[in-house]
Amino acid sequence: MNTKTPECWSSDPNAHGVKIELSAERSLLLPFDQFAFAELKVEGKQQHLRLVFATHEVLIRGNALRRIETTMQRMELSFLGALSSSERKLIAEGQPVIVEIVVTETKDVEKRAQKDQE
């Protein structure tokens, strides 16, 4: 029986980038030297963390994401992955929970912004 609590994020002071697990078949590794900025928005209990890199924008939806934001600020964030609804129930109150991760290539973000301005 596995008693280990599922993790949706991890840190490593020696990390050179963050691995983002989008599914069991797809992951993305973004280097810290391409990191531009982060933005955290709080809407009730739900939080939205936006991580912008030179080539990709990462949108994270979940709870208690400030710890992840702080870890990214220190350039120690090494892993991100969304938790299934059954896994979320196992996370202690106040601990980060990632519900959804959406990654967009920067060129797609720029195209969407241009359409919005038109």
The answer to the question of residue 67 being in a domain is yes
Residue-range definition of the domain harbouring residue 37: 9-117
The answer to the question of residue 44 being in a domain is yes
Q: What pLDDT is attached to residue 90?
A: 86
| Cβ–Cβ < 8 Å for 63, 47 | yes
The answer to the question of residue 82 being in a domain is yes
Please give the chain's pLDDT, 118 residues, in tens: 455 667 899 999 999 999 999 998 999 999 999 999 999 999 988 999 999 999 999 999 999 999 999 999 999 999 999 998 888 888 888 889 999 999 999 876 666 666 667 6
| Total domain count, the chain | 1
Three-state DSSP class for residue 38 = strand
The answer to the question of residue 2 being in a domain is no
The answer to the question of residue 4 being in a domain is no
Predicted TM-score of the model (pTM): 0.84
